[in-house]
Amino acid sequence: MDVKTWTYIIVGITFAIYIGIAFWSRASSTKDFYVAGGGVSPLANGMATAADWMSAASFISMAGLISFMGYDGTVYLMGWTGGYVLLALLLAPYLRKFGKFTVPDFIGDRYYSNSARTVAVVCALLVSFTYVAGQMRGVGVVFSRFLEVDINTGVIIGMVIVLIYAVMGGMKGITYTQVAQYCVLIFAFMVPAIYISIIMTGVPIPQIGMGSTLTDGSGVYLLDKLDGLSRELGFAEYTQGSKSMQDVFAITFALMVGTAGLPHVIVRFFTVKRVKDARMSAGLALGFIAILYTTAPAISVFARTNLIETVSNRDYATVPKWFTNWEKTGLLAFTDKNNDGKIQYVANKETNELTIDNDIMVLANPEIANLPNWVIALVAAGGLAAALSTAAGLLLVISSSVSHDLLKKIVMPTISEKGELIAARLSAAVAVCIAGYFGINPPGFVAAVVALAFGLAAASFFPAIILGIFYKRMNKEGAVAGMVVGTVLMIYYMVKYKMGWLDATPPPANEWWFGISPEGFGSVAMLANFAVSLTISAFTPAPPEDVQQIVEDIRLPMGAGEATNH
């Protein structure tokens, strides 16, 4: 069977499973809708969190990005995993004990103020919308490449699927579909990786394969070979990287702290029964994530080596079929600058003749390595699972921010449970449409916007939550001032140095503050938030007695009860 038939079959089966699960786990109360009734097992929650977390970017783009960044790719590898240690140790158990539905709930109650709650809602919406647009785009890209439909049609199909299970099932439906999606995506990611690892190094475990010798009998280590190839073509050595140390440090830190502050990840820990289940699911979640995150750098090494060996100095007339396939999508482009009919793939931009989009490295990897058609189809299903699961989690945060935090807690406190549930479904539906709109008309600054999402999460939520738990004296004046300063500073830096809206062009790297790129600036904005919060709170009155009692209370794990709507 050809790839297209396989893709229709595999994608069709997985979609049927997702919708079936959605029917089986319909939400009947706001508690079902926001936190899946609070009775999810740690294992299921761990898988759901992993699928929630690993987006189209993790599945499709990350390995490719790393294969072009080499050592510097560690900012994503460590940055997007290390945050779970912070989550497990510093946030999840206490927020679970606190026992509400959303992150703005915590901020609003802990800082006894609706202005704090409103600031938190605005941050949650900003972070989630920027993130979700990228996911819908990812769905479109996968559809267009593998099923040869228009990108926009792909986005719309994705919207309909998410709409069905997010609107009907809320968090409950999302949780159980995410469990299924985790299984699909990890299987789809691992199969080609294992295949290629065996072909290139004879070792079936990619994590070990990337550090093994090649099967060509030369006895050369794969990584040494890649370092050598990179040197020859004028690239930085793969194991060295080219970013400055302080920038790698800052970006890694911003991504870690941002991860720990992302509302769609935090809410997942509200869905389990007890505090110890929250700890356990954080551990399991990172375990499930680590399977993909330790495999991705291996794929990067395999793919990069394969690519260089396949295309470098090759006659264009003899390129393999996948090359021309991907040329059609525009993600791969060859211009014969010196008219010698050969592909010159080198670091020097003047003479380089090949441009490659990051995403190809995962999507085309099975074709490059000549794997069977069903594996290629599986990768398509995996990419869709990754994009859909993350999109659904984000949509839930958006809908609960609107129906719960904004409507129920601020605008219309008298709304009935039934009314709130309808509002939640409606806002989920509206959010899907907005996300789809951005998927079809992506803002030109998507990359900047995702970095912004992490920077904002780091600069706004993280300090407010940490101080709320670990510093009893922290008051609303300090927290609100800190969040506002952190957020504004982050947006200013992004607008000035990434988008360049304040000058004719973005200022050059040597004007960056402390040599830190906009991607890493979340670290600085976060420190500013901490400093402002602590200073202001020192000069303003301590929080009321009952709030201090809440803090005492969340520090003890017993009697978490169920997430409630007091």
Partner 1 sequence: MKNNEDTQAHRYWKENLTYLAILLAIWFLASYGAGILFADFLNNFQLGGFKLGFWFAHQGAIYVFVILIFVYIRLMNRLDKKYGYDE
Residues that bind partner 1 (CB under 8 A): 71, 73-74, 77-78, 81-82, 84-85, 88-90, 93, 207-208, 210-213, 221-224, 239, 245, 248-249, 252-253, 274, 276, 279-280, 282-283, 286-287, 290, 293-294, 297, 552, 555-559
Give the separation between CA 150 and CA 140, rounded to whole angstroms: 8
Closest contact distance (angstroms) between CB of 285 and partner 1 is 9
Sign of the torsion formed by the C-alpha atoms of 547, 549, 554 and 559: negative
Query: CB 150 → partner 1: shortest distance, Å?
Result: 38
Distance CA 88, CA 455 (A): 20
Q: Which is nearer to partner 1, 213 or 310 (CB)?
A: 213
Exposure of 354 in the CB half-sphere (CA atoms within 13 A) = 25
Q: How far is the CB of 95 from partner 1 (least distance, A)?
A: 15
Q: How far is the CB of 90 from partner 1 (least distance, A)?
A: 7
Minimum distance, C-beta of residue 243 to partner 1, in the bound complex (Å): 10
CB 367 within 8 A of CB 350: no
Q: Rank residues 207 and 310 by Cβ distance to partner 1 and give the closer one.
A: 207
Does residue 171 contact residue 344 with C-beta atoms inside 8 Å? Answer: no
Q: Based on CB atoms, which residue is closest to partner 1, 515 or 557?
A: 557
Q: How far is the CB of 300 from partner 1 (least distance, A)?
A: 9
What distances in angstroms separate CA 217 from CA 212, 213, 339, 499, one per listed residue? 12, 9, 36, 49
When the beta carbons of 114 and 213 are compared against partner 1, the nearer one is 213
Cβ proximity to partner 1, 289 vs 376, nearer residue: 289
Residue 341 or 561 with smaller CB distance to partner 1: 561
How many CB atoms are located within 10 Å of the residue 264 CB?
Answer: 25
CB of 206 to partner 1, least distance (A): 11
SS3 content of the chain, % helix, strand, coil (to 5): 75, 0, 25
In contact, 543 and 475? CB cutoff 8 Å: yes
Q: How far is the CB of 566 from partner 1 (least distance, A)?
A: 20
Angle separating helix axes 521-538 and 446-470, nearest 10 degrees: 30
Nearer to partner 1, 119 or 210 (CB): 210
The nearer residue to partner 1, 119 or 362, going by C-beta atoms, is 362
Question: Of 357 and 553, which CB lies nearer to partner 1 in the complex structure?
Answer: 553
| Amino acid identity for residue 411 in this structure | V
Total residue length of the chain: 566
Q: Which is nearer to partner 1, 224 or 357 (CB)?
A: 224
Distance of alpha carbon 128 from alpha carbon 450, whole angstroms = 10
Closer to partner 1 by CB, 253 or 323: give it: 253
Instruction: Give min distance, CB of 35 to partner 1, in A.
Output: 19
C-alpha to C-alpha distance for 402 and 398, rounded to whole angstroms: 6
Helix axes 114-146, 151-201, angle to 10 degrees: 70
> Looking at 49-144, which runs of residues are DSSP E strands?
none
Which one-letter DSSP state was computed for residue 102? Answer: S
d(CA 75, CA 94) in angstroms, rounded, equals: 28
Q: Output the smallest distance, CB 278 to partner 1, in A.
A: 10
Q: DSSP characters for 501-549?
A: -SSSSPPPGGGSGGG--GGGHHHHHHHHHHHHHHHHHHTSPPPPHHHHH
Q: Which is nearer to partner 1, 18 or 293 (CB)?
A: 293
Least distance (Å) between residue 274 CB and partner 1: 6
Here the tokens at position 439 are 């998927």
What is the closest distance, in whole angstroms, from the C-beta atom of residue 89 to partner 1 in the complex?
6
- Give the span between the Cα atoms of 379 and 530, in whole angstroms: 43
Residue position matching structure tokens 């940490």: 466
CB contact burial 240-251 (16+ within 10 A = b; e otherwise):
ebebeeebbebb
Q: Give the pair of three-digit tokens for residue 164.
A: 């069905």
User: Please, which residues have CB within 8 angstroms of residue 360's CB and are 6 or more apart in sequence?
Assistant: 64, 326, 331, 332
